[in-house]
Amino acid sequence: MERTTLRRRALVAGTATVAVGALALAGLTGVASAGPAGTTAPPVSADSLSPGLLAAMERDLGLDADDARSRIANEYRAAAVAAGLEKSLGVSFAGARVSGAKAALTVATTDASQTARITEAGARAEVVGHSLDRLEGVKEALDKAALRKAPKDVPVWYVDVEANRVVVNAASTAAGAAFLKSAGVDSGLVTVARSAEQPRALADLRGGDAYYMNGSGRCSIGFSVKRGTQNGFATAGHCGRAGTTTTGFNRQAQGTFQGSTFPGRDYAWVATNANWTPRPLVNGYGRGDVTVAGSTSSVVGASVCRSGSTTGWHCGTIQQLNTSVTYPEGTISGVTRTSVCAEPGDSGGSYISGNQAQGVTSGGSGNCSSGGTTYFQPLNPLLQAYGLTLVTSGGPTDPPTDPPTDPPTDPPGGTWAAGTTYATGATVTYGGATYRCLQGHTAQANWTPAAVPALWQRI
């Protein structure tokens, strides 16, 4: 299988703290309240889900409409319970996942004394040897090694919460071992699995609709967003660079890429002109549009569906979070691995669980005839990186308050300094440019002006 960017050429012509008792399935009614991305209140009732989404889940997951509604409702509850337990368990938390037709929640811990807390919250407890923090530390070391030099014949690595290990997929045992050695990680925490997977980026204002870059390549819209009063949409970074112009599915002038990161991450946003109105919708491709109510992240094992301009609607499940994948252009970290298929031109398109936006299509391997593995860039880090708000059925949600964790890409230098308290309106220089402070704050090491547009405006 080929691992390359799938840039389709155009045809010539928070976690919010929620009481567990309030998360009963009967309580999943009403419209979700707006809040910081990823902290939306319980989503609207599963009874209101799009017929198109239900049809796609029946086709791809073998679930009839009633089973799909029940599963999604259970997944909503599981996500909220898992988020609360992650906070309360602290350093002993070792991951969460759902499984089975009813999406039963399992939460792992390294501390056997915490099992009662987990079961009281309604989840199955599992005691394991390694905390999620420890495993993610190993994965972070692998990510850093890949940034120094992209590994040869090592397409994917991730934390497998069910196995309680880091998994490195490699074309050969030797390739995997060489990667571990370059990163200097404890091989006792890593499983090297042989794999022929060859993921590639799927590049070929409603989520899933087509758009064209500089009149040639085609990608798909992820989700409608706003930055202040400016309308736009989120999409994949490999689809275009800052300054790339776009036309819509109708080939009419649409907008311009304002920010783009690829490789490293795979996210971008496009500012659109006044002729395009952002809608809280994802294209159901003949099965009815899906309404976006928020961006609460789902857990491992949850169902997820994708909309893209090449293959339309397809569904599957979330396999691993925080995955790293190597494309020919470089390594992408922090993506989510899924069993959903995709093809060239689907890149940038919408991933959604129920009515909760999950992310934008990045890349993958295989196709929608024989099946495949696809990766999506989670939406909330994208919103954080560019200071965007998601357009939802309740209006735009507020942007996340936490700054992004991506390392700065601009060179250091200038008057900006970590540890300094800046007032709104203060100006600094950094990397040869001048910035104005938008929100009063005390700077931390990775909150550089170039990396946190929610705090600094370049002038």
So which residues are the catalytic ones? Answer: 238, 266, 347
Neighbours of 372 (CB within 10 A): 21
Helix (H, G, I), strand (E, B) or coil at 383: helix
Distance of alpha carbon 459 from alpha carbon 444, whole angstroms: 21
**Cα Rg of the chain, angstroms:** 21
Q: CA of 201: how far to CAs of 168, 290, 307, 360, 442, in Å?
A: 19, 25, 16, 11, 37
| Half-sphere exposure in the Cβ direction for 300 (13 Å, CA) | 21
Number of H helices, E strands in the chain: 6, 28
Q: Token pair for residue 188?
A: 């006792």
Cis peptide before 263 (omega within 30 of 0): yes
Helix (H, G, I), strand (E, B) or coil at 237: helix
Q: Which of 72, 73, 14 is nearest to 38 (CA)?
A: 14
- DSSP per-residue codes, 333-346: EEEEEES----TT-
Q: Of all residues in the chain, what percent are helix, strand and coil, respectively (each to 5)? A: 20, 35, 45
Within its chain, how far is the Cα of 290 from the centroid? 18
**Which residues, 6+ apart, have CB-to-CB distance to 57 below 8 Å?**
63, 68, 303, 305, 315
Cβ contact 157:324 at 8 Å: yes
Q: What is the DSSP letter of 64?
A: -
Tokens 């989404």, residue?
53
Helix (H, G, I), strand (E, B) or coil at 316: strand
Q: Token pair for residue 285?
A: 């491709």
Amino acid at 208: G
Q: Token pair for residue 113?
A: 């004394």
* Phi-psi domain of 339 (left: phi exceeds 0; alpha: psi -120 through 50; beta: other): alpha
Look at the chain and count its residues: 459
**Sign of the CA dihedral 62, 368, 380, 99?**
positive
